[in-house]
Amino acid sequence: MKNELVHLAITSGEPAGIGPEISVQATKKFLHQHPDVQIHLLGDRHLFSPYLDGFQNDRLHLVHLPLRSKNNYGQLNSANAPYVLEMLDQAYLGCEQKQYDAMVTAPLQKSVMNDNGLHFTGHTEYLAQKAGSKQVVMMLCGQVSSSLARSSEMMRVALATTHLALKDVPLAISYTELLGTIQIIHQTLKTYFGIQNPKIQVAGLNPHAGESGYLGKEEIDVITPVIKQAQSEGISVTGPFSADTMFRLDVLDQVDIFLAMYHDQGLIPLKMACFGQGVNVTLGLPIIRTSVDHGTALQIAGRGEANFESMVQALSVAYQMVKNGSSSA
C-alpha cells in the first residue's frame, strides 16, 4: 500500500448531534495532514455544507444519503433511525467489498434506534451481527494527557463484556468467552498495532480480585484458569489484579493493554487519563472499525463548538491499523 491511497469511510452519526460537524472538521484537518488518504464522508450533504465553508479537496468524496425526516439540531427524531443504520450498512458493505480500507463512526443515539422499534445496543454489537462474528472485543485507546504523564504514553483498555446491566455481568464472564477475548486482543495487537509480544494485564471482577474467594469466586473459578490457559499458548498475560490498583500510568511502558471485566471498570480510568482523546476500536471484525469515545452532545449541536479531536484520533488509529495490517499481510 506504499504508493496507494488509504480509503477511510466516515459515518456521520446522529444527525441532531455533533456528528456531522466533527466529521467534517476532522476530515479537513486529516486530509491536510495525510496526502495519502481519501475520505468518503457518508450522510446527508445538507448537514455538511455549513462546516465545509467552501472547502474543496479531490480526496474528499461525499456519499449523499438523504435524511428520512426533518432534522433540528438538539432534537431527536426517531424517524431518522433508518438513515443512521443505512450509513453503517453502506460503510460496512464498502469495507467488505474493499472499496474502503476502514470505517470510522461518529456517535449515534441508541435511544433513537429503540424508539423506532429497532433493537440496538451499540455499534459494536450491530457490526458483529452484520459480520457474523462469533465474538468481538471493545477496546479504547488514547494518548494520556500531558498533565498526567511526563512522556506521551498510549493507554489501551479492552472489555470482557460491553453494554450490559451490572447484574448480568458475572454470568457473561465464561471460560470460553474470556479466553477468546484474550486471544483476539493478542492477535489484533500483533497484526494491526505492530506489537510482537503484547503484554496484557487482566482485572478481577470483584473488589480486591475476590480476596481469595471471600468477596466472590469468579477469579478462582473462571479468570485465573483462563489466564493460565492463555499463558500455555504463549500469550503474555497476567492477573487477575485488583481493579482499583491495576490502572497505573507509571506502568504504561510495561503494559500494552488492560483487560477490564465490565464497561465502567475499564472506561472510567481510560477516559480520565485521555480527556477526550480516546478512540473506540472493535477487535475481532473482518474489517477495521474505529470510533470516537464520546456521545452526541445534543446540547451544543449546530453551534460550531464541538471538539473534533477524538474524531481526528479515530481517523489516525484507523489509518495506522490499515498501514500495519497491509505490511503484515
Q: Which of 305, 232, 317 is nearest to 280 (CA)?
A: 317
Sign of the torsion formed by the C-alpha atoms of 226, 229, 230 and 236: positive
Q: With a cut of 70, list the residues of the chain below it in pLDDT.
A: 1-3, 149-152, 327-329
| Helix, strand, coil share of the chain (percent; to 5) | 45, 20, 40
Give the model confidence (pLDDT) of 263-306 as tens digits. 999 999 999 988 778 899 999 999 999 999 889 999 999 999 99
CA-to-CA distance for 171 and 158, rounded, in angstroms? 18
C-alpha cell at 113: 434506534
C-alpha cell at 134: 462469533
Give every CB contact of residue 74 below 8 A, 6+ residues apart in sequence: 16, 298, 299, 301, 302
Burial class (CB in 10 A: 0-12, 13-18, 19+), 283: buried
CA-to-CA distance for 11 and 259, rounded, in angstroms? 28
Q: For residue 149, what pLDDT is reported?
A: 63
Give every CB contact of residue 285 below 8 A, 6+ residues apart in sequence: 127, 128, 131, 133, 136
CA-to-CA distance for 271 and 281, rounded, in angstroms? 14
Dump strand ranges (E) for 228-308. Answer: 236-241, 257-260, 279-283, 289-292
CA-to-CA distance for 153 and 172, rounded, in angstroms? 32
CA-to-CA distance for 39 and 5, rounded, in angstroms? 10
Q: For residue 53, what pLDDT is reported?
A: 87
Q: For residue 54, what pLDDT is reported?
A: 85
- DSSP class of residue 306 equals -
Q: For residue 151, what pLDDT is reported?
A: 58
Give the pTM.
0.91
Q: For residue 326, what pLDDT is reported?
A: 80
Q: Give 27-39 as a DSSP string.
A: HHHHHHH-TTEEE
Q: For residue 274, what pLDDT is reported?
A: 86
Q: For residue 156, what pLDDT is reported?
A: 97
- Structural domains present in the chain: 1-133+285-329 (3.40.718.10), 135-277 (3.40.718.10)
Using only C-alpha atoms, the chain has a radius of gyration, in whole angstroms, of: 20
Give every CB contact of residue 64 below 8 A, 6+ residues apart in sequence: 43, 44, 45
* Phi and psi, residue 181, nearest 5°: -60, -45
Q: For residue 3, what pLDDT is reported?
A: 59
